[in-house]
Amino acid sequence: MEERIRISIPDATSVDWGFLRDEPYFLYRLISDQDRAVLGVGCIRQLDEPVFNDHGAVEDWCFGALRYEWKDALEPALGRSKEQVSEPHCRWFIPRFVVEWKGEEVSMHVLHEDSVVAREWASGFFRHGAKVPVGPEFEWVEQFDRGGYLGEVAVLMQHIRRGDIYEVNYCIPRRARSNTFDPFGAFARLLERSAAPYAGFFRWNDAFAVCASPERFMAFEKDRILGQPMKGTRPRSLDRQVDERLRRELAADEKERSENVMALDVMRHDFSKVAAPGSVLVRDLCAVVSLPKVHQMVSTVSASLRSGLTPYDALAAAFPMASMTGAPKVRAMQLIEAAEKGPRGLFSGSLGFFAPDGTGDWNVVIRSLLFDAATGGASIHTGSAITAMCDPEMEWEECQLKARSVIDAIGHA
């Protein structure tokens, strides 16, 4: 396999996302806590799954988009989803160009034969003075009204009282249609407004994902794996005293902590299937992270991969993420399918990459707009954790808050 060369891109301070309009395949991921971002453009080759060498790294950059329905292939007890879709569960691809931001430094990783073309491409992508266009107005239609939502939650809470499950993440979609929606402008507005630490932007032909994710699924560094389940939300306030009260309220909330710990326990169990004995450690428990629109509760668990296993094995063992399913995980997923009555698709899946240096990062596709350019159809899914202690009315309001954070980030104003 031909090795890539690294090209430094000086003075790359401004990006024109609209320059990607003619690219049918790309995936961008922001990793704020590492002051890093990567963008894979084009497709040299599609893969069934990433291939790792003896050192636990891929030979070339590998990007992926994982749909929630990958669960059906990973867990035999689930069978096949009632509503089948033509899209594959996973898109794995090796891009033609890779752009990497590390702090103030920007570089491209390209094949030697593409070096001249890559420099020309960079001069268009890193264009000074690129303006963020104004977005169209959407008329969003909820697929479940308040009464329908509360009815499904009541059924799920019956399962909880019977002891079938302890927690389940129940999600509802909103849909809209637009012939003028510009996903490139929407993503530019999202980056300006949301400060989402694990944002993503994905295109595969007519399918787009504009993702303002605040949650990491998994991170990799050689044989080390890390997971960060997120459960628990409070809105931010412009009033400092009120904002601090909301933050403290979240940190002390028994119900929110219970949800978070249950998701953490599921992820610890998933990690134990691939981890070296005794290496699964909880590094942060129920920490509160403050984002521009909301406070979120996040826990962190890490482990060392067992000898002979790869990062792909770890990703598959933990997918779908605990924060978007429930506990016990398999039974929760069965009840999710019955309650939601349709596929989630890329929502509550993951966007990410594996790099030749042994690193990788995968987000949770939430706070996202999915768009089909062929039909003009758009969707936003939002959800929350249903437990024995939850107030269904508050869970409904949490779904509204999360949807509004996406609409505000990409919207007209």
Residues 382 and 395: their CA atoms lie apart, in Å, by 10
Residues 227 and 23: their CA atoms lie apart, in Å, by 32
Q: Where are the beta strands (DSSP E) in 57-205?
A: 62-66, 90-94, 97-102, 105-111, 141-142, 167-177, 200-204
231 tagged catalytic: yes
Which runs of consecutive H residues, i.e. helices, occur in 288-328?
311-318
Enclosing H/E stretch for 21:
none
* SS3 state at 293: coil
Give the number of other CB atoms < 10 A from CB of residue 271. 24
192 tagged catalytic: no
The backbone torsions φ and ψ at residue 311, rounded to the nearest 5 degrees and listed phi first, read -55, -35
Which residue is listed with tokens 């779908």? 320
Residues 321 and 197: their CA atoms lie apart, in Å, by 18
Residues 74 and 29: their CA atoms lie apart, in Å, by 25
Question: Using an 8 Å Cβ cutoff, are 304 and 276 in contact?
Answer: yes
C-alpha closest to that of 343 among 105, 87, 134, 109: 87
Residues 395 and 384: their CA atoms lie apart, in Å, by 6
Residues 349 and 338: their CA atoms lie apart, in Å, by 19
User: What residues pair up with 93 in beta bridges, in sequence order?
Assistant: 46, 63
Question: Using an 8 Å Cβ cutoff, are 78 and 69 in contact?
Answer: no
From 71, 231, 293, 402, active-site residue: 231
From 215, 259, 340, 398, active-site residue: 215
Residues 147 and 282: their CA atoms lie apart, in Å, by 39
In angstroms, the Cα distances linking 252 to 232, 289, 323, 398 are 11, 14, 19, 18
Which residues are part of the catalytic machinery?
215, 231
